[in-house]
Amino acid sequence: MIKLYGLDVSGNTYKVKLLLSLLNIKYQFIKLDVNNQQHKSDAYLKLNPRGEFPTLEDKTIVIWDSQAILVYLAKKHASLLEENHWYPDDAKDMALITQWLTVANGEIFNFLGKARSKLKFGYECDLELAQTQGNRTLKWIERHLSNNSWLATDKPSIADIACYPYIALCEEGGISLDGYSAIHGWFQKIESLSGYITMPGIKHR
C-alpha cells in the first residue's frame, strides 16, 4: 500500500491527499511528529533528503515534492481512468499544466503560503512583502479564471489541485478573498468534484 508522510495542516500534504481521494486510491497516512523533529531524523532523511513533507512511498519508489507526487500519481493511475484529464499526454496540455505547477511552487507557496505560515505557525518571513505580492498574485489568477473554467485546460487537472490549497487557505495569512468572484467560482467547481475532501482551515463554501 502507498504510504504518505506529512501533516494534516500542511497545504502541500493536503494537495496529495486530495488527489489520492479524487482518484479513489487507498493509502496509509503517516503523520510526522514535527515537534520532535521527526522530519529531520536520519530515518526520514533517507526518504526525503530535504527534510520536508510530503513524501510518498510506493513499494520501492520514493517521491518527494508535492508537485512531483501529483505527476507520479496522475500518470501511474491514468489507466484506471476513462480519460486522463489530470495530466494528459498532449504536449500543449502538459506544458500548460507544468506552468501552473511552477506557480504553485513559486508565487502561491512563497507569498500566500508563507504569509499563512507566519501568522499561523510563527515561521519567519517578511509578512508585508508576502501579503503584498500575494494580493498581486490573486489579482492575475482572478483575471485568468474570469475567462477560464480551470487553470490549465478545459477540464480539472493537477494544476488545479496544486494551486488550490494555499489559495483557499490564504485568509489564514491575512490575505482577503473578498471580491474574487472567479476564484470563488473555481473553488466551488473543485469542491463539487466526486471524492473531494477538505482540510483544517478551508472554509465551507
pLDDT in tens, 82-138: 668 999 999 999 999 999 999 999 999 999 999 999 999 999 999 999 999 999 999
Q: Is the pLDDT of residue 183 over 80?
A: yes
CB-count exposure of residue 60 (10 Å: 0-12, 13-18, 19+) = exposed
Given a cut of 90, is residue 172 above it in pLDDT?
Answer: yes
Statement to judge: residues 98 and 159 lie in one domain = yes
Phi, psi of 78 (to 5 degrees): -60, -35
| The total number of structural domains that make up the chain | 2
Strands across the sheet containing 2-6: 27-31, 2-6, 55-58, 61-64
Last residue of a domain, one of 20, 48, 80: 80
Same domain, 106 and 168: yes
- Cell numbers that stand for 150 in this block: 480551470
Task: For residue 198, tell me if it sits in a domain.
Answer: no
State whether 133 and 180 are in the same domain.
yes
Residue 114 lies in domain = 91-191
Q: 10 with 55, same domain?
A: yes
Could you give the CA distance from residue 108 to residue 100 in angstroms, rounded to a whole number? Answer: 10
Q: Summarize pLDDT for 24-60 with one digit per residue, the tens.
A: 999 999 999 988 899 999 999 999 999 999 999 999 9
* Same domain? 182 vs 96: yes
Q: Are residues 66 and 96 in the same domain?
A: no
Residue-wise pLDDT tens digits, 134-150: 999 999 999 999 999 99
Domain boundary among 23, 53, 80: 80
Decide if 201 is inside a domain.
no
Q: Are residues 99 and 58 in the same domain?
A: no
Q: Which of 35, 50, 80 is the last residue before a domain boundary?
A: 80
Flag whether 67 is in a domain: yes
